[in-house]
Chain A
Amino acid sequence: MTVYVYAITSRDHPCRLDGTTGVGARAAPVRVLAAGELRAVVSDIDEEIRPRRRDVAAHQAVQDRLMADGTPLPLQFGYTAPDDASVRHTLEEHAQTYRAALDRVEGCAEYNVKASREQERLLREILDDSPEARRLNDAIVAGSQDPRLPLELGRMVAAEVELRHASAASDLVRALVGPAREHVLHQPVGSEDFLNLSLLVPRDEEAALVKAHAAVARDDDKGVSVRLSGPLPPYSFVP
């Protein structure tokens, strides 16, 4: 029977998953397959899985349970194998790779940081700081029909937006990477976000990260807000 695969753990991970149910309408129990030094966390499915909220949440809930007892290798959402035997086979075949990947993240959790800035405030700031942009804007608002003006203003503002976002992003990275063993920058998602940073943080450094985040979480004058999510399984730090 087709199985949905959630995560790979080391053999000494307790995988306490009693009562946990998996993706799919049937919500089959989540179970564990052992192969050599590794274990795979799976559940049976008999339908096509799509990214419904229910299923994405179920996938994440299994990871949360595992994180309580040690860091797993979380699979990307949506992977299935034809049967238990093929999962075991894959574990055995790539045991060394997974072992090394587990060592890399051992004792750590991922934290994701997203920062956004209200666009309106940003545009105001740019017009305040740039006399040339202000002049162009005033001319357009006053009724100038010159088609070059909006283009010129827009180009100027777009460049400033990019510059200011980049500078704010690098300030935040500097303020937050201290407690992290590794970090990686992802493309920001969403229209006002300018930072999407994932940190691999040793569990005993979490308090330091939370503290560092608290210091930068809001800047109401600039309209900046910084959201911290975690602890997560190390989605961004696996092969």
Chain B
Amino acid sequence: MTMVPQGGPGLSRAGGGGSSSLYDVLELILDRGLVIDAFVRVSVVGIELIKIDARIVVASVDTYLRFAEACNRLDLESGRSAPAQLPDVVGKVVEGGSRGKTKGALGGALDAVTQSLRGRSEDEEAEEEPEEEQEEQEDELEEEAEPVRRRRPARRPVRRERK
């Protein structure tokens, strides 16, 4: 989906599925922008998760095996095939070792952000995607993200002192 200038500014809630475009620029809003050390950054779990999620682990045995499996599932004769999407790959990696686990768990947390941004809310009721299965997503992600932090103390975001 494309947001192009059409007479006015406005990305976030311009018509035509604005919330998914907000999702497309989420990491810019959370992870880029001016940083002012003298100010306090509110402790926001999701921010750190996004950052970590972006480090994609490609060179691992788990990844190789998942790629091979995805290839094996292709129906090369008929052109029809079982879908071999990477989310599936990522999900399964969770079971396969500690490096994969990090990626998988955090991928899940990112999904939570996606869901929360695509879910319903009072000001954006237009979004009714049939493939959206999780109806009851919170409009925030801290609950989902919390277990990730507990399980992986090494990745725990640094909580800055407030005030």
Interface residue ranges, A against B (CB under 8 Å) = 5, 7-8, 48-54, 56-57, 59-61, 64-65, 67-68, 73-82, 86-87, 89-90, 93-94, 101, 110, 112, 114, 119-120, 123-124, 126-127, 133, 136-137, 140-141, 149-151, 153-155, 157-158, 161-162, 186-192, 196, 198, 206, 210, 213, 217, 227-233, 235-236, 238-239
Contact partners of B81 in chain A: CB under 8 A: 120
Interface residues of B (CB under 8 A from A): 1-5, 8-13, 19, 21-22, 24-36, 38-47, 50, 53-56, 58-59, 61, 63-72, 74, 76, 81, 83-87, 89-90, 107, 110, 113, 116-117, 119, 121, 123, 139-142, 163
A–B complex contacts, Cβ < 8 Å, 7 sampled: A53-B139, A74-B33, A137-B68, A137-B76, A154-B65, A157-B67, A230-B4
- A50-B142, A150-B68 are known contacts. Are A238 and B33 too (CB-CB below 8 A)? yes
A90-B28 contact in complex given A64-B12, A124-B76, A157-B71, C-beta closer than 8 Å? no
Q: Closest 10 A-B residue pairs measured CB to CB?
A: A154-B64, A76-B33, A191-B86, A150-B68, A154-B68, A235-B32, A187-B54, A60-B12, A154-B67, A235-B28
Q: In the complex, are the beta carbons of A51 and B46 less than 8 A apart?
A: yes
Q: A140-B72, A154-B63, A154-B68 are in contact. Are A54 and B53 (CB under 8 A)?
A: no
Q: Is the CB of B74 within 8 A of A57?
A: no
Chain A nearest CB from B144 CB (Å) reads: 12
Bound CA–CA A133/B87 (angstroms): 23
Can you name the residue of chain B whose Cβ is closest to the Cβ of A47? B42
Which residues of the partner chain B approach A231 to less than 8 Å between Cβ atoms?
5, 9, 11
Contacts A67-B9, A228-B2; A56 near B53 (Cβ below 8 A): no
Query: Distance (Å) between the CB of B108 and the closest chain A CB?
Result: 12
Our pick among A50, A162, A235, A238 for the contact of B140 (Cβ within 8 Å) is A50
CB contact under 8 A between A56 and B5, given known A50-B140, A78-B44, A80-B40: no
Contact residues in B for A8 (Cβ distance below 8 Å): 34
Q: Which residue of A lies closest to B76 (CB)?
A: A127
